[in-house]
Structures are given as structure tokens and as C-alpha cells.
Amino acid sequence: IISTRLPQRDVITLLRVSPRCRQLLESHHPLWKVLDLHEMNKGGERLIAALSLSRYKNIEEINLEFSQDMEDKHLLSLKGMSLQKLNHLNLNGCQKVTDNGVEAVTLVCPKLKSLSIYWNVRVTDQGIKYLVRNCHEILSFNLSGCKNITDQSLHLLANHYKEIKHLNLTRCVKLTDSGLVQLLDSCRSIEDLNLYADSSFTDKSYEKISNLTELRVLDLCGAQYISDQGLLSIAECRKLVSLNLTWCICVTDVGVKAIAQYCPSLEFLSLFGILGVTDSSLETLSKFCSDKLTTLDVNGCINIKKRSKSELLELFPKLTCFKLQMVVVCEWAYSLCEFCVKGGFSVPCSRCSYCPQHYTVNNTTLQ
């Protein structure tokens, strides 16, 4: 009973207590459906060693996030192993993994439903070709920071993953309207879409977001070309719960009022840095969303005059958060999240927040 509540690393430590304890723990199969190697040294070697043990024969989830020394050769070594039940794989921050590694791991994990490869600049469209060829059930895909992904990858996703629900395209700088439009026309079951710091998209793409009738979470931080016209289309996503419009500098009261009126389930809204928004937007938000809104960030919205904590609480009594949960390090930018700081990374992940027009954070330029 105790072991089911412990982190896996602590459970592994308990294996050394006694032979009897080891036998009992190893016979409890639910304990070994997850392999957690995140942030561990020699992650590749540990992966191969662990999967050679019989207790992991029914493994369903592997977390290698920021594992050190994780390379293609380790994924190639998986050939012949039985990973038919693996449905969740996290390769975030494993920067030595290339398209060859993606091919190798997808060949042995055909039932994969969730893949995360945040901040991998070596994976290209070829890797996505391998993925769609070998894994047909992907529902969640994190490509955040994968700078070499182009519209070709979005075309592949659109053609093969029409039921995908969670997609993170943060800082995929080579993407254009062409790819995103096709994706949004085809993948209409998306519930969570992250377009953070993808500043090249225009209303041509944003208007297609209206296709996503199940959309609950949308991050458009840094969408410098979205206008009220784009927001009017997004307002058709009636199930929207979270919307990040940080630094969407072309937005005005017109677009925000549409969101307020047609998205009554809204709980999280960031308008950080938008000069075109005034107190009129807050009044409309209060009229339609005051019973649900718990997070509202209007910092930097200098044309909203009544934005003190007490004034906001009068309009939104359920507010518990008045800014994104990041530490402000300058007037313009938020800090990298604790994971990126700890790992020494300069490319932001989906947990980071910053102004895309002022990339310097802690004297580090986000490239």
C-alpha cells in the first residue's frame, strides 16, 4: 500500500531492503508500468538496463526528460524488445537524438499515443515521416522548440492524425500559414493547442481555429499578427477555458469582448502588454465570465486604468491569480521556468513565459 504512493525511485531503493521485499514489489505489476529516468545521468544506459528486466515487460510510459547522455545508439538498441504496450514517451531535452533515433523508437512502439520531443533541433521533417509511418494512434505531440520542423510536418500530421487532441508547436519558427491552415482544417478534435512564440502566423490561420469545437486551452503568446478578426473566429470555440494573449499587440477591445461574450467557461486569460485593451473589456468580461475567471493578467495594459488588485476583485470575485506564475526579471520579460534554469537551457519550453520582442532574460539571449 505504501509503495504505490512512493516515487518510482524510492520504490527501487526499497528493492534492496530484503529478498522478500524485492519479491513482493516485483510481483506488483502496476508499479512497473512507468519508467522514470528524467534528469538522470547515463540515461541511455539506464534505459537499456531497465528494459532488460522482466518486471518492465508491460511498460506503458517512459520519461527521459533531460536525461543525460541519451543518444540514437540507445534507441537503436531497443530493436527486438517488446514495447508493444508503450503509449507515452517523453524525450524532452534529449538533444542528441536525431531522425534515426525517432525511427528506431517508433518501430518498436507502434501503439504510442503520446510523444514529447521538446527542444530537439536535430529532428527534422524526416523524423515526422518515420513517426506517422510507424505510429498510427498519436493523440498528443509536443514539438516545442523543434526549429527544423517545417510545414511539411504539419501536412503529415494533418493527413495522419485527424483525431489528435494535444499539440504543442511552441517556437517552431519555420512554420507558416500554409501548414497550420491545413492542420486546422483536418484535425478538428484538438483540445489543447500551443502556438507560443510562433510570431509568423496571421489571421488566415487564426480564423481556422474556429474549426476546433472541442478546444479548451489556447496559447497565442507573441502572436503579433493576430487581430480582432482572428479573435472573433476564436470566440466560436465555446468550450475555451484558458487563453493566453500575452503580447498580442494588434488586439483591441473588440476582440476581447467577443471572447468574453461567447466563451463563458473562461477561467484563465492573459492580456499582458496589450495597449489596445481598456476598462471596457474588463466590464464585458465581468458581465459574462466573473463567475468562472480565476486568473487574469492585465499587467502592462496601460490603458486599463482600474487594474489594482482590489479593483479587479470587485469585478472578478473569484480571482486568485493576477499574473502568470513566472518571476519578472525585467520590464519586458519573464524568466525561464525552473526546469530550463536548472538545465542551463536558453530556449524556452511551454512552461516558460517571455516577451517575444525582448528576448534577453538574465543576460541570456533566447535564440
Task: Please write the tens of the pLDDT for every residue from 290-336.
Answer: 999 999 999 999 999 999 999 999 999 999 998 864 433 333 334 44
With contact defined as beta carbons under 8 Å apart, do 115 and 87 qualify?
no
Q: How many helices (H) and strands (E) does the chain have?
A: 14, 13
Judged by phi (left if over 0) then psi (alpha if -120 to 50, else beta), residue 171 lies in left
Residue 102's contacts (CB-CB under 8 Å, 6 or more residues apart) are 75, 117, 123, 127, 130, 131
Q: Quickly name the fold that domain 230-324 has.
A: 3.80.10
pLDDT on residue 66: 96
The pLDDT of residue 28 is 67
Q: Where in the chain is the domain with CATH 3.80.10.10?
A: 33-201, 230-324
* 367 band by pLDDT with thresholds 50, 70 and 90: very low
Element at 253 (helix H, strand E): helix 253-262
- Band of pLDDT at residue 31, cut at 50, 70 and 90: confident
**pTM: predicted TM-score of the whole model, two decimal places:** 0.85
Reported residue count of the chain is: 367
Q: Residue 283: helix, strand or coil by DSSP?
A: helix
Assess contact for 201 and 174: CB atoms under 8 A.
no
Distance in Å from the first CA to the final CA of the chain: 47
Q: 319 exposed, middle or buried (CB, 10 Å; 0-12, 13-18, 19+)?
A: middle
The dotted CATH code for 33-201 is 3.80.10.10
